[in-house]
Every structure is written in structure tokens, then in C-alpha cells.
Structure 1
Amino acid sequence: MNVLIIEDEKPSARRLQRMLTTLDVKAEQMLHSVAEAIEWFSNNPHPDLIFLDIQLSDGLSFEIFETVTVESAIIFTTAFDEYALQAFKLNSIDYLLKPIDAHELETAVKKYKNLKAPAKKVQLDFEDIKKLLVNPVEREYKKRFTTRIGQHIKMIPVDEIECFYSENKGTYAHTVDGRDYLLDTTLEQLEAELEPQTFFRISRKFYVNIKAIRDIISYTNSRLQLKLNSFKAQDVIVARERVKDFKVWLE
């Protein structure tokens, strides 16, 4: 299998390359920009499979396909929210939300191997996906969550939640009054339920509310540490792979 990675963050590209190696998949070629990819596709045989980041340093990766015709299967690697990912899921082999999970990567590779026969070649409608990115469909996000306290059901308005975090296989909401509530959900399920301009997933363990961020501090290994208004139970760290998207989200 001939595999190409297109990813502008070189540490993320190398991490994905290492993860693929554990699946006996070699990705020897890595590209990091739209311009570099256009030149490469114009002068080299196309690979069987591309791991494609959506937003590259010099533009959206869809610009590649406006210039060259690529005859490869594609797995998206993206930090975009659920409204756009629905389109990717319909039009590509699969998508992987950053930071990439090893199990999800393995599942995506297996899906490609099952679909790689020529009769099942994937057709991508990049124009429709680009429209979704620029003009996302309107949708309703959750306005409240519920939790059981003894024999009672408590409603928690979403604007009173500073952050969501996982601990000991449970998912908790931490509220502005300093309380923590166990929820019957997972951080993965929250991705489709939280308004993306207000909440951002900074790591595998945390979703944070932008209104709750009191301070942002440079941290070790190119990460960021967040100080929230009332959450003090543990360090709130932006994963290295999420720092760039986090900064974009802040703006």
C-alpha cells in the first residue's frame, strides 16, 4: 500500500507516521502545504491512500484538487466540528478527529482495505464540503444537561458549565459555582452537542468554555496551560496537537 500524509504540522505528521507503522502501513512521503502537494501530484505517481489535513498553512487542502485530478482514496484528518464531518463521512473513506486515536486509525485503515477494489473507488464532492466549511448548516446545540442526585434529577444550563472532563471512565461537568456533576455521556458524544464557538476540546480529557478561561500560560513541550475561573482540581493543559487550532478558536 502506497500512503501519503498531507499535514502542515510536522510533529503531527510524524506522529501519524509512527502510528501507521504499528499497523504495518508505511507512509514514507509527507507533504506540508497546498503548493507543495500540487507540485508533487503533478510530477509523481499518485498513492493508493492519502491522509489529508483540511486546513494547511497556505489554504484549504481542497485547493489541491482544483488544480490536479487525484486518483486516490482519502481519509480526512481534521479538527473541524461535527457539522462538517458529517459531509466528510458521506464522501470519503473516513475521517479522524485530531488528536488521532489509535483505535479509530486502525478502524479507518481496515475500512480502506475493505473498499480498495477498483469498483468501489470513492468519489469526493469537494465543492459541497467547502460550502459547508464556509457556510455551516444551522443546527441546535444542547442548552442544558441533566444529572441524577439521589432520587432527584438536576438540570444544568450549559452556560453555567466551565468545562467538561473525563476521570476514572466518567464524564463530569464543572459549573461556575465550583461543583462537579457526573453525566451520562462521553466527551466524544459531546462533540455533536456543544456549540463550537463556545466550547473547545483541548485534549482527550477536557472541553473548556471560552468564557471560563482566566489565563493562558506557556507550558512544557509546546503546550499551553489554562487557568479557569473556578476549576482547580487538576491542571488544564492544551495538547500539543491542538495548540494551533486552539489559537484559531480563540480568535
Structure 2
Amino acid sequence: MRIIIIEDEKPAARLLQRKLEKLGLQVDTLLHSVEESLQWFQDNRHPDLIFLDIQLSDGLSFEIFEQIDIKSAVIFTTAFDEYALRAFKLNSIDYLLKPIDEDDLEIAVNKYKSRNQALPNLSLDFDMIKRMLVNPVEKTYKQRFTIKIGERLKMIPIEEVECIYSENKGTYLHTLDNRDYLIDGTLDHVETELNPNQFFRVSRKFIIPLKSIKDILVYSNSRLKVILPTYKEDEVIVSRERVNDFKEWLG
């Protein structure tokens, strides 16, 4: 099965790729814009399945279908609500609301696999779609964490986060005042709630914000070591496979 992902937020695209790999599926290509996708479809054999974000950095992904006759099955990955999606009238396999749940992803993939007959051509009502998207749903990201401490709830603004890490099957928040708090959810889930322009998943264990980076050192095996203001419990290492993306994220 040939799969591609079209998603303008590169960390979100890579996260979806990793989730698909956990299901034993290989992603051929990651595309990040309408322009890049149009060029790719002109030069490559169309895939079996596309994971498609609706709103890309340079326009709506539906513009791809206006110019290219795509026969691939489509699973939408979107922040739009269910009512708006019904109005698109697309012959897609399924859609997944962000943040993408791994169980929902597996169900959508299995639904695709269960279809044996050829899919009909995609049929789009572009005028209707554009009317629906005059006031698109803005992507919103977490602004604070709510932590339960005994019988109290403590709110920690996102600006006070120094890093987020996993340890002993728990997920922890480390703040700039050198305190640690146990939070709900896995590191994978928390990653989807954070602004990818401000936060980066440097390894399986750590997510760090740009503003908390004190220094960056060259480390062994082509890796990088990040120095944070107060966190000293463990070395924060950018894994080798994420070094290039990390450098790109730094800008």
C-alpha cells in the first residue's frame, strides 16, 4: 500500500507518520503545501491512500483536486467539525479530527483495507465548500495546563513551561521555577496540543519550547545536546533522526 501525507505543519505530519508506522504502514512521502502537492502528483504515480489536511499554508487542499484528477482514497485530518465535513460531499474513506487518536486512526485504516471494490471518482462541490470555509475554524493550541495538587487545581501558563518529559509511564511538566508536575495524557497526545512553532519533540522522552533553550552542544553520533535553564535530572538529547528537523525548526 502506497501512502502519502499532505499536512502543512511538519511536526503534525511526522507524528501521524510515526502513528502509521506503529500500525505497520510505511509512508512514502510527506507534502506540506498545495504547490508542492501539485508538482508531486504531476511527477509521481498516485498513491493508494492520502491523509489530507484541509487547510494548508498556501490554500485549501481541495485546490489540488481542481487541477489534478486524483483517484486515490482520502482520509481527512482536520480541525473542522463533523457538520462542516458532511457538507463537503466527498467520497472519502473517513476523516479524523485533530488531535488524532491512535484508535480512531486504526479504525480508519482498517475501514480502507476492508474495501475491495474500486472507489468512484471524487466529486466536489467547490462553490459550496468555499462558502463553508469563509470563516474557517482556527487551529488553537494549549495556553495553560491544569494540574491537580491534592484537593487543589493549579493553572500553569504555557509561558512557564521549561520542558515536558516522560518517565516511568508518566508525563511530567517541568517549569522555569524548577518544579515538576505530573500531568494527564501521553507525550504523544500532549505534542498535538502544543503550537509546533513554539515546541519541538526532540526525542521520545522530551518536548522543549524554543524560549527555554539556553545552549546547544554537539553530541556523539551526530546528535545534539540541549541545555535548559533549570532541568538537570537527565540529558536532553536531540535524537539523530530528528536533528535536521530540529535545525530547520530553529530557523
TM-score (norm 1): 0.60
| Residues 21-49 of structure 1: per-residue CA shift (max 9 Å, x gap) | x84x788x7798754541224xxxx4432
In the alignment, does 2:44 pair up with 1:40? yes
Please name the residue that 2:2 is paired with. 3
| Cα-to-partner distance string for 1:166-189 (whole Å, 9 max, x where unaligned) | 111111110112221112333244
Q: Which amino acid aligns with 1:238?
A: V
Residue 234 of structure 1 aligns with which residue? Answer: 234
Whole-Å separation in 1 of the counterparts to 2:168 and 2:236: 16
Aligned to 1:190, the other structure's residue is in SS state helix
Deviation of 1:235 (Å):
2.2
Report matched runs for 1:1-251 at 5 Å.
2-5=1-4, 19=21, 23=24, 34=37, 35-41=39-45, 46-50=46-50, 65=65, 67-74=67-74, 85-87=78-80, 93=94, 107-114=107-114, 117-118=117-118, 137=138, 139=140, 141-148=142-149, 150-220=150-220, 222-251=222-251
SS at match of 1:172: strand
With 162-171 and 204-213 compared, the bigger mean Cα shift is at: 204-213
- The alpha carbon displacement at 1:141 in A equals 3.1
1:116-146: CA deviation from partner (whole Å, max 9, x where unpaired): 6556876689997xx99xx971636333422
Contact 1:223 1:243 (8 Å CA) reproduced: yes
Q: Any idea what SS the aligned residue of 1:111 has? A: helix
Report the 3-state secondary structure (helix = DSSP H, G, I; strand = E; otherwise coil) of the residue aligned with 2:177.
coil
Change (3 A) 1:195 1:48: closer
Say what the alpha-carbon RMSD is for the aligned residues.
5.0
Query: How many aligned positions are there?
Result: 223
Can you give the 5+ residue segments of structure 2 that lack an aligned partner in the other structure?
A: none
Q: What are the ranges of 5 or more consecutive residues in structure 1 without an aligned counterpart?
A: 77-83
SS of alignment partner, residue 249 of structure 1: helix
Shift of 1:240: 4.4
Change (3 A) 1:121 1:244: farther
Q: Is the 8 A contact 1:115 1:121 kept in 2?
A: no
8 A Cα contact 1:19 1:102, kept in partner = no
SS of 2:249's equivalent in the other structure is helix
Are the counterparts in 2 of residues 52 and 61 from structure 1 also a CA contact under 8 Å? no
Counterpart CA distance in 1 for 2:186 and 2:121 is: 34
Q: C-alpha separation between the residues in 2 aligned to 1:172 and 1:191?
A: 13
Q: 2:196, 2:141 → 1: CA distance?
A: 11
SS of 1:246's equivalent in the other structure is: helix
The answer to whether the Cα contact below 8 Å between 1:38 and 1:67 also exists between their aligned partners in 2 is no
Percentage of pairs with the same residue = 43
Equivalent AA in structure 1 for residue 163 of structure 2: C
